[in-house]
């Protein structure tokens, strides 16, 4: 039975050997079909892992916010034909604050074996380093962009944090950090 491997990628310029398991190498070198956010970045990451990978023999399906549902369903055709596939994200773990979640949902629906590979997650690393409650936490994804909705959401999250003694985790793009901090 074919598998859909969820392969984590680097969060920083660290040597990949320090943060990714060795199991990543055979997955990347033996798999011929990849679902990626950005083909150029994925190719560069794969060459970093193994310089001998023949990139030109591989098939890449690009998954981003513009990808339609019909396209996503077609991405999984190789796995339905018993070929292993891998999902690569831009940074961190596929399917976590990442468009790969929809591919994983469809793979389960189609009976394709899904195999997550352990690796770095900025969300868990932030929780670990925070000193906040790691027994009761919620990941809220990206917060609203519009300032009025952002302020309202932050107010709700603050209330939850106090009432439930619950750590509230969210992520933000670097260019919106100043707006977030001023809210």
Per-residue pLDDT of the chain (183 residues; tens, 9 = 90+): 899 999 999 888 778 888 888 999 999 999 999 999 999 999 999 999 999 999 999 999 999 889 998 899 999 999 999 999 999 988 888 988 888 899 999 999 999 999 999 888 888 989 999 999 999 999 998 899 898 999 999 999 999 999 999 999 988 887 777 777 777
81: Cα separation from own chain's centroid: 25
Is residue 9 packed enough to be buried (19+ CB in 10 Å), middle (13-18) or exposed (0-12)? buried
Ordered structural domains, the chain, with CATH: 3-116 (3.40.1010.10), 129-182 (3.30.950.10)
pTM > 0.95:
no
Which pLDDT score is estimated for 173?
Answer: 81
Q: Please provide residue 61's backbone torsions phi and psi, each rounded to the nearest 5 degrees.
A: -110, 125
DSSP string, the chain: --EEEEE-B-SSSS-HHHHS-TTHHHHHHH--EEEES-HHHHHHHHHHH-TT--GGG-EEEE-STT--HHHHHHHTHHHHTT--EEEE-SSB-TTSSSTHHHHHHHHHHTT-EEEE-----HHHHHHHHH-S-SSSEEEEEEPPSSHHHHHHHHHHHHHHHHHHT-EEEEE--GGGHHHHHH-
């Amino acid at each position: 039975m074919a598998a859909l491997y969820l392969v984590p990628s680097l969060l920083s310029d660290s040597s990949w050997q320090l943060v990714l398991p060795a199991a990543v190498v055979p997955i990347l070198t033996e798999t011929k079909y990849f679902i990626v956010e950005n083909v150029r970045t994925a190719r560069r990451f794969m060459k970093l892992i193994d310089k001998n990978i023949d990139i030109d023999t591989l098939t890449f399906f690009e998954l981003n916010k513009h990808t339609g549902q019909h396209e996503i369903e077609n991405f999984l055709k190789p796995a339905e034909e018993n070929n292993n596939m891998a999902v690569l994200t831009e940074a961190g773990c596929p399917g976590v604050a990442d468009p790969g979640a929809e591919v994983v949902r469809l793979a389960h629906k189609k009976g394709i074996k899904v195999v997550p590979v352990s690796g770095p997650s900025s969300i868990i690393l932030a929780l670990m380093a925070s000193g906040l409650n790691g027994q009761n936490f919620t990941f809220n994804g990206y917060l609203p962009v519009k300032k009025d909705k952002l302020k309202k959401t932050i107010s709700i999250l603050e209330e939850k944090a106090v009432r439930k003694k619950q750590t509230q985790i969210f992520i933000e793009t670097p260019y919106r950090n100043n707006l977030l901090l001023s809210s």
